[in-house]
Structure 1
Amino acid sequence: TQFLHYNSTTNHPSDWLMLFNPAILLPYLIDSFSLSPNSPFSDSHSVKLLWFYVPIGAKIWSFAGFIVLNFGLWSYWIWQGLNRCFHNPKATLLNKGQSYRLTACFEVVLLGFALNPNLPDWKNHSQALFENFQMLLVFNLLLFLGLIVALSPHRQTLQDWARYRHQHKSIRKGGILSDLIWGKNSPGVVAVGMNLAIASTILSPWILLWPTSEYKTPALLALLLNATMIIFYASVVQLMLLMKTPKRAIWAAGTVTGFITLPPMVLSFLSMLPSVHSHVWLFSAFSWASVEYAAGTSVAIALVTQSLALVLLNLQLTRQLRKVGESATKTLLSPRPLAVIE
């Protein structure tokens, strides 16, 4: 069974994916029933997997238990989405409160794998931590794209919300902001922003506790740039879901996919590397690849530009919601002609 004994851990957040592969337990199980004098729990046969510095791969019972807990956790969240859609097919996949808890779970789980990076001879500890942080941002991008899909209601739901929001109980209690944060049918942009705040609250203390300050500022700026880009994508999706165009969900998905994939493809085709043309990469979904090479003025310009784009998009979204709500109200209150019976 020696060919099964491998250590595929890399001590960065991608180790989390290994927990979805039950075959990783085969070396433990085979060796535990073999007549080999070598212990299956020895260092050479165990998976050197750390989570918050705990060696969960040292023993089969801890490793198997962690895999079961991981499957149970994410099965629970999948079930929450399926159960919600089963009872109301027109509802969003998750309500806003569920999304906040999901984000907290996701960040804590992945952060546990990022704390103890590999340290080759040519790399210092802070650089290795920064690379783990970059991998975390990649996973976060995937998470938040899923949350944008799960939290963005479609046109009819938004139309009903815009028309009746003054009657909502949450409006009477806490105002429009409370409804945007917790409401079932309100636009999802603010909820995505709240999820970004939760993720940043979990990751920022870890960044500030890095042993040296060399990569702290680039990491915090990358976190901020990543957040503004994700809110930009959420605003674009919500605005496009308000269109009357059929298959608007496909249009929204295609537009965001283009925003994410086309800039790095074009820049790579033009041989514009993040380390050389860092100011251009700051406007992409992968700004974390160039932020450590960018000047402070370039980062400031990128943040101001993205903020202005967010303001314009959300002003347009507000106008569209008001327009949709007013037109729906007029249609509802307009007198209908009586049918003439001959």
Structure 2
Amino acid sequence: MDTIQIKLSIFNGGNLTQNEVMNLRAFINQIQSPFGYRYCDYLDQRKDGSIGVKISYPRYWGNSNAFLIRSNIQTREVNKHFCESLKNHFLLRNSYISLERVDIPFTYYMENSFDFNSHSNIYKILGEVHKKKKPKGVQKTYGELLSNKHETIIYSDTKTLSGYNSKLMIYNQYQNLLSKTAEGDEIEVLLNNFEDLKGRIRIEASKRIRRNCFTNFEFSTFDILAEYLPSFKKEVFTNFLNFKIIDQIYEEKKCLLINLLKEQKALGNFNYEVIILRNASHIYDYEILRRAFNIFIENKKTRESAVTRVRKILNKYSEKENIIVMDIYSILEDIAECVEKYYIIDYTFGWL
């Protein structure tokens, strides 16, 4: 669990003075957890007199979004504390709370020998699935211009990112925090407190929420993670980690590769290394190439020899470009297992 965005109704909110607005902003921004961490951000004032607020569950516990929330016990405590805090402000103590956005992230750990950009074939396959499931959506990548390295991948159900109803963002959490941290000392503190930070790939699902508002008491007892986790996981497994569609994509890529090989062979001067390296960015997984060779080359010994040569070519390409091209399907399965098992939902504990 990461952040949520809510709308708070304000008592007599339509007639707020400038001083009251400034007071509300200061109050929200100063709400502290029992550990002394500020975890709320005042966002804006709305035309109906309500205000927008962002709540960070990780910052409640660890003063940073680098802290990993892993259970609904943690999120329930945050909701309770937040609602108790609202009682201390005369304009907020009887406010109604409307959920506007919920973000639920999962954390996958890279192998030490690879970086975030090394997983670009993973992002491409997820993009292919998303394109089939959400044809009116969009897949975008953000990174460094000169190095052409990915830092953030966004899949949205609408062409306009700001107007999304649901989206998935995959990002390098270390680089993400680095871009938001002004002082080098702060990053050193983060790395000392969260030693695994540089190895994290964050897979963050986000949804706009439309439901009836909560009273203060209702939200204080609302088990938000247990409520939304099942639907968020379903979204990920339906529109991204959908192995029925992934298998279909592998077959489609196999057929395209077979046709390419046939075309090149017909032209003469057939060279596996030239063909593979020229099309390496479109060969998401060695497995696709192996399947293509099983059909393209009928002679078993010739096929085995060709597969060995191509495997060596792809290994050299992978080492040179630091791009994963082997066992991509297995990595996708590992990520799926991570999403399935990442959070612990406890229904047995009593109210805090």
TM-score (norm 2): 0.23
The structure, 1 or 2, with the larger RCO (C-alpha pairs under 8 Å, 6+ apart) is 2
Higher helix share: 1
Q: TM-score, normalised by structure 1?
A: 0.24
Higher strand share: 2
